[in-house]
Amino acid sequence: MALDLANPAQTPHLRLSFEFFPPKSEEMEGQLWATVRDLAGWQPDFVSVTYGAGGTTRAPTLSTVRRLIAETTLPTAAHLTCVDATKADVAHVVEEFRAAGVKHFVALRGDPSGGVGTAYQPHPGGYENAAALVRGLRDIDDFEISVSAYPEKHPESPDEVLDIDMLKRKVDNGATRALTQFFFDNDIFERYLNRVRAAGITIPIVPGIMPIQNLTQLKRFASMCGATVPARLDPRFAGLDDKPEERANVAADVAAEQIDDLTTRGVNEFHLYTMNRAPLVNATLARLGLVRAASADNSAGAAA
Ligand code: FAD
């Protein structure tokens, strides 16, 4: 039975993780740390920091991760890609993250350096895909390793069977959790999960939830990621382009309804794409009846 979203007495026990990206300006830096402080009260299992295409944000990712570890008690995962990097380059970066205190990586192949839609060329001295990177990380240390999963298959994947086969290779090489690409149709996720389990994959497959800040922009981004945005969302956001408050309310309703429905299907772990903004995430989780910790211990030292 679905939760009564207006009845906090039915508070579910959900495990959460929050994804951030490294800030590109001083203003964005301030926004990120305000967001971290704000969201820490939800006591996520971990937070993660993305790694830019072609390794372009190695330094900002590293400094963001360093600060999260130094100034908060939030368990922090570093995303890592192997685009345009030799195995030695990757080992060097891993060493830097490890020295900063990182014990958990989100291991990814990364997008082709020519841009999404171009053919991926592994570096001749590097890892050919995420499965090989997972094996490389596992050989370096006993890290916790999360990987990607694609309920609507990766756009480069010839078919769903091969796509799940790649997930299986990542798990066989040592991945312990998969975080999914965002999706909005829970039936698609449930079908995918059934196929993943039928393939003998038993690690947690954690749905990636994207609260919709802007439907038009999201559609553009989703089409590059091979994710579909159901037409049923159009009328909900219609006419709200110039009404940010109403739009935010609808967005929080949509995300909370999606999470609530997934809980009725037995899912209790969620990875939220925060876009470095707290209000929509807060509104979504509050609608689910979740309660923040009284004092945000986790962010105690996260000064702006
Ligand atoms: P892989 O798992 O190696 O492959 C993806 C798919 O491509 C496979 O499922 C498979 O179907 C197909 N494929 C790959 N190789 C082969 C092959 N040899 N034969 C047949 N099929 C093949 N990108 C960033 O740059 N930085 C980030 O921080 C980042 N974070 C992400 C976090 C999450 C949770 C997700 C879902 C994605 C993230 N991405 C990030 C995007 C990701 O880098 C891209 O989707 C990239 O194109 C694929 O990387 P992967 O690790 O999923 O690749």
Residue 51 CA: nearest ligand 1 atom is 28
Q: Tokens for 17, please give them.
A: 């993780």
Q: C-alpha 180: how far from its chain's center?
A: 7
Specify the CATH number for the domain of residue 70.
3.20.20.220
Nearest 5°: the CA angle 213, 248, 299 is 80
Evaluate: CB of 273 within 6 angstroms of ligand 1.
no
Contact 274, 16 (CB under 8 A): no
The arithmetic mean of pLDDT across residues 137-158, rounded, is 96
C-beta of 228 in contact with ligand 1 (< 6 A):
no
Exposure string of 155-189, with b = 16+ CB inside 10 Å and e = fewer, is ebbeebeebbebbbbbbebbbebbbbbbbbbbeeb
CA 148–ligand 1 middle distance (angstroms): 6
> Does ligand 1 have an atom closer than 6 angstroms to the CB of 67?
no
Whether residue 1 lies inside any domain: the answer is no
State yes or no: pLDDT of 67 exceeds 50: yes
Q: Tens of pLDDT along 170-180?
A: 999 999 999 99
Residue type, 142: D
Comparison of pLDDT for 303 and 197, the residue scoring more? 197
Are the C-beta atoms of residues 76 and 49 closer than 8 Å to each other?
A: yes
The reply to whether 6 falls in a domain is no
pLDDT at 118: 83
Distance 130 CA to ligand 1 centre (A): 7
Higher pLDDT, residue 213 or 273? 273
How far apart are the CA of 296 and the centre of ligand 1, in A?
34
Return the ligand 1 atom nearest residue 179 CA: 34
Cα 109 to ligand 1 centroid, rounded to whole Å: 5
Type of residue found at 47: V
Active site residue 19: yes
The reply to whether 10 falls in a domain is no
**Alpha-carbon gap, residue 119 to 97, rounded angstroms:** 29
Q: What is the secondary structure of 232-296 as a DSSP string?
A: GGHHHHTT-TT-HHHHHHHHHHHHHHHHHHHHHTT--EEEEE-TT--HHHHHHHHHTT----SS-
Q: Is the CB of 129 under 6 A from ligand 1?
A: yes
In a domain, 169, yes or no: yes
Our count of domains for the chain comes to 1
Secondary structure of residue 19 in the 3-state scheme: strand
Average pLDDT over residues 195-210: 98
Residue nearest to atom 28 of ligand 1 (CA): 50
Give CA–CA dist 138/136, Å, rounded.
5
Determine contact, residues 152/188, Cβ cutoff 8 Å.
yes
- Residue 69 lies inside a defined structural domain of this protein: yes
Kindly state if the Cβ of 189 falls inside 6 Å of ligand 1.
no
Closest CA to 285 of 296, 274, 299, 275: 274
157-163 contacts at long range (C-beta below 8 A, 24 or more positions apart): 160/192, 160/195
- The answer to whether residue 19 is domain-embedded is yes
Are 264 and 288 spatial neighbours (Cβ–Cβ below 8 Å)? Answer: no
Give the pLDDT confidence of 1-56 residue by residue, as tens digits: 354 555 544 556 899 999 999 999 999 999 999 999 999 999 999 999 999 865 56
Let me know if residue 268 belongs to a domain: yes
- Residue 298: pLDDT band by 50, 70, 90 thresholds? low
Residue 22: name the closest of 72, 54, 56 by CA.
Answer: 56
166 CA distance to ligand 1 middle (Å) = 10
Provide the residue range defining the domain that includes 25: 15-298
Is residue 287 in a domain? yes
Atom of ligand 1 nearest to the CA of 21: 28
Q: Ligand 1: does its nearest atom lie under 6 Å from the Cβ of 152?
A: no
- Backbone conformation region of residue 70, classed left if phi is above 0, alpha if psi is from -120 to 50, else beta: alpha
**What's the token pair of residue 187?**
């039936």
> What does the pLDDT read at residue 13?
84
Q: 151: closest CA among 285, 262, 13?
A: 262
What are the tens digits of pLDDT across the range 253-265? 999 999 999 999 9
Ligand 1 neighbourhood includes 135 CB (under 6 angstroms): no
